Structure 1
Amino acid sequence: MKKLRSMVKQLKYPGWTVFFLSFSNLIVEGGAKNTESVFYLALKNGFKTGATVTSLVFSLGGLFGAITSPLLGRLLDNLGPKKFFVLAGIVIIIGWQLSSYAPNIWYLYIFYSFIAAVGHTSISSFTAMATLSPWFPATRGTVLGLADAGNPLGQAIFTPLSQALVLGLGWRWSFRIIGLIFFTLVFPLNLFLQKPAPKELDETDESTIDGELINSGHSFKAYKIQSVWWMIGARGFLSISNQMIRLHILAFFVLSGYDQMNAATAVGMIGVVSVLGRPSLGYLSDKLGREIMFTLGIGLQLIAISVLILTNNMNNLLPILLYVAFSGLTDGIGGLILSAKAGDIYPRVYLGEILGLVEIGRGLGIAIGPILGGILFDLNGDYLLAFTIAMILSLVSIGCSWMIRFSHYSKLTPVS
């Protein structure tokens, strides 16, 4: 009976409400991010544009996300999660609805690449992790992994759904319908259920964090901390790698002879596998360490890409099955592991600002990766060089993740 009461008490813990909202926000982020490969082909065919011009829609979105993420992180710290996420829902629906009426692709550089992208960045993993992390300090990696499973669930739901809508109704109505669904998942739930984290949950003793930076009377500046820059590097190089592959993977499969709907379903299945993979990564990172799991996870991703590059007969189902399995198990590892690491070593009151700065790396990756992949395809006619470069960048990201550990052990090291 006592054990039952304890379980009921745990379920009533308000942190689980914040967990549910983070999960819901990340479903939207996963949907927005992973439908881009579907809309890339639809926009390319609809406007009769080349790979580079079409990729620029999504690359600019990453660039604007990178520019605005530090400001959004500080805004989250100042406004609190409730007001912040409510505003995010409004921005998302405005961006998607305006995008559906674009008379040519250039309008999408404003409606989607800027307006919608700001909304996407506002509900991306860095804001979810900054909001949720303080509620579960003892099991941070595990809970963040569970919440981050919303991202691949969004992929599993919205990738095939958007493909079906595009084939049935066209891309314009697909934008309107998907945008309305995203708004419904973000706006009302956060308006009525979102909660601020109680101050007493913050276990970080700021006196143990570089006193010269925080307690000397000077304002805190995240960009002066050396470990933050290594974290930006790890996030950025991995993001470029992932985005070079993510946006073009559907086109790669179609070019290799797969049916377009079947290929979209396979990409969606990565999300299904990742629903289990992300909580597992989070749990193992709590037990084995963030850097070790970061290294092992990216290693699996490299195996998955190598299988696609080295297999000549793409009519064989084995390569695509291995890609789905390995990519699904490790999808989203950058945001998950690095956010958990940030929660481990930085004070709660600065998490929004710090993770917003780290999000610059992801935003630059989204800006550079898609268009770089498009340029390399236009130059070479295939994705071999693009995917090879992506693998090299993933290895660089591993090196940066270990430098976070070495540059920040007992103190935050200021950048001179």
Structure 2
Amino acid sequence: MISTSAPFGQRYAFVVVAVIFLCLLIAAGLRSAPAVMMLPLQESLGWGRDSISFAAAVGIFLYGLAGPFAAALMERIGLRRVLMASLVLMSAATALSLWMTQPWHMVLTWGILSGIGSGAVATVLGATIVNRWFKTNRGLVMGLMSASSASGMLVFLPLLAALAQSGGWRPVALTVSIATAALLPLVWFLVPERPSSVGLVRYGADADDAPPVPPSARGNFFLHTLSTLKRAAGTRIFWYLFATFFICGFTTNGLVGTHLIAFCGDMGINEIQAAGLLSLMGVFDLIGTTLSGWLTDRFDPRKLLFIYYGIRGLSLMYLPYSGFSATALIVFAIFYGLDWIATVPPTLRLANEGFGDAAGPLVFGWVVAGHQVGAAAAAYFGGIMHELQGDYEMAFLIAGLTGLAAACISLLIDTSKPESDPEPQPA
């Protein structure tokens, strides 16, 4: 590993980023797969959308809940071990789903197992890599890695939709399983634990740089994770970040990521065209999130969040009344896509400012858990609303209003005077 990194010097950090980007991309593809499987499962097995949505909601919820524990476990037993175990679990769970015949089988495979596995290959992983490997340009790098979820849609959804339309849901599950397993050798050979593991320092740091020491790399990681939550929960900063990210999840992969393809299907648009719409959104999110990272390094993150959530809320309220013409959908894809995950870099910066570089990623993991709780709620909420009303109109209007609420909450965040430190002060 040392000889591999030697020709790159500090720039080896970007090799690590490239591998982690691929891992995040595949995890995003896995989490978005139920969206293209919904209609084939309904036709093939006769399951209702509420049952399928429940399985997707469980996976999204555990995807977020596992994040903070994964962040602590990475410090306890090593990032690479946790990452590889997660990839194995994701691949095995999706492969096992090929034999499912009852809704609870989907809850077990695509919900519980893949949710736990993908939880370690999520935004909190990107935050950990950024803090370990970069002294400068953190916002930009976090923007690039956050954009991997958009790229996951861009790369996977058209392919998965084509597979679902021609062969049903089983080829989708098999493709995701194979793609996940293919990442294992890349992680094993190219991702060291830390820069110091290969004789390097963080990118942009001096030779005598001393990176932040994790609060507890030893002891009971489970209790440490919960104690960090308890201390962070005593601050207003945490609850403002948690609330805005709850709404972020509610208005993105929870509602739109899970139900947009089915919504388009209700309006006479086939799966491949609808997946193409999500891919177009992915293109603009790749641009928007990367730009957001650049802006986060330079401007007040609270004002950026106000703009992002405001645009998102208005976009969601526009969609049900857009007429679903080609032009209207393109307009929606551009404005909504530009800030799909653009909220991540400014939220991470606020978490680091409020709780410090050492505890920041773990606290951010709990904030991301709020994101996934919101996403899980929206995934199930969308299915229930469709079963009750026969359409998604009210679900999207409510989501739009929550986006406007998040825009207002963002301006209340103040990291200049944290109310309490999430780490105990020495006596």
Give the shorter-chain TM-score range. Answer: 0.7 to 0.9
- Contact map agreement 2:309 2:403 (CA 8 A) in 1: yes
- Distance (Å, rounded) in 1 between the aligned partners of 2:172 and 2:54: 20
Match of 1:320 among 318, 329, 333: 329
Output the TM-score relative to the length of structure 2.
0.85
Spell out, residue by residue over 1:93-139, the C-alpha distance to the aligned partner (whole angstroms, 9 max, x if none): 11101112112222111111011111111101122222223422322
Task: Give the corresponding residue for 2:250.
Answer: 240
- 1:298 has 2:296 as partner: no
Match of 1:254 among 255, 260, 265: 265
Task: Give the corresponding residue for 1:266.
Answer: 277
- 1:188 has 2:198 as partner: no
Output the TM-score relative to the length of structure 1.
0.87
Name the SS for the 1:346 alignment partner.
helix
Greater shift, 195-204 or 63-72, is seen at 195-204
- 1:90 has 2:88 as partner: yes
- Distance (Å, rounded) in 2 between the aligned partners of 1:86 and 1:54: 28
Task: Give the corresponding residue for 2:375.
Answer: 366
- Contact map agreement 1:163 1:264 (CA 8 A) in 2: yes
1:207-246 to structure 2, matched below 5 A, reads 221-225=228-232, 226=235, 227-242=237-252, 243-246=254-257
**How far did residue 203 of structure 1 move?**
6.0
Spell out, residue by residue over 1:62-83, the C-alpha distance to the aligned partner (whole angstroms, 9 max, x if none): 2333443332221122122211
- Contact map agreement 1:134 1:202 (CA 8 A) in 2: no
Task: Give the corresponding residue for 2:157.
Answer: 159
- Distance (Å, rounded) in 1 between the aligned partners of 2:261 and 2:22: 25
- Contact map agreement 2:78 2:193 (CA 8 A) in 1: yes
- Distance (Å, rounded) in 1 between the aligned partners of 2:230 and 2:347: 16
Task: Give the corresponding residue for 1:380.
Answer: 389
Name the SS for the 2:255 alignment partner.
helix
**How far did residue 383 of structure 1 move?**
1.1
Spell out, residue by residue over 1:284-336, the C-alpha distance to the aligned partner (whole angstroms, 9 max, x if none): 1222221111121222222322331232x32x222100111112211112333
Q: Quick one: structure 1 residues 191 and 348, their matched pair in 2 at CA, closer, same or farther if it must change by over 3 Å?
A: farther
Instruction: Give the partner amino acid of 1:230.
Output: Y
- Contact map agreement 1:18 1:132 (CA 8 A) in 2: no
Task: Give the corresponding residue for 2:338.
Answer: 329
* Percent of matched pairs sharing the same residue: 20
Task: Give the corresponding residue for 1:26.
Answer: 24
- Contact map agreement 2:351 2:364 (CA 8 A) in 1: yes
More helix, by proportion = 1
**How far did residue 280 of structure 1 move?**
0.6
Superposition RMSD in Å: 2.5
**How far did residue 198 of structure 1 move?**
4.5
Match of 1:409 among 396, 409, 416: 416
- Contact map agreement 1:57 1:113 (CA 8 A) in 2: yes
- Contact map agreement 1:61 1:117 (CA 8 A) in 2: yes
**How far did residue 30 of structure 1 move?**
2.2
- Distance (Å, rounded) in 2 between the aligned partners of 1:346 and 1:192: 33
- 1:389 has 2:386 as partner: no
> Structure 1: which 5+ runs fail to align?
1-7, 207-218
Instruction: Give the partner amino acid of 1:295.
Output: F
- Distance (Å, rounded) in 1 between the aligned partners of 2:265 and 2:231: 46
Instruction: Give the partner amino acid of 1:348.
Output: D
- Distance (Å, rounded) in 2 between the aligned partners of 1:19 and 1:342: 21
Task: Give the corresponding residue for 1:172.
Answer: 170
Q: Quick one: structure 1 residues 346 and 221, their matched pair in 2 at CA, closer, same or farther if it must change by over 3 Å?
A: same
- Contact map agreement 1:58 1:366 (CA 8 A) in 2: no
- Distance (Å, rounded) in 1 between the aligned partners of 2:135 and 2:355: 12
Task: Give the corresponding residue for 1:353.
Answer: 362
Greater shift, 132-141 or 87-96, is seen at 132-141
Task: Give the corresponding residue for 1:3.
Answer: none
Q: Quick one: structure 1 residues 337 and 201, their matched pair in 2 at CA, closer, same or farther if it must change by over 3 Å?
A: farther
Greater shift, 192-201 or 104-113, is seen at 192-201
**How far did residue 201 of structure 1 move?**
5.1
- Contact map agreement 1:290 1:341 (CA 8 A) in 2: yes
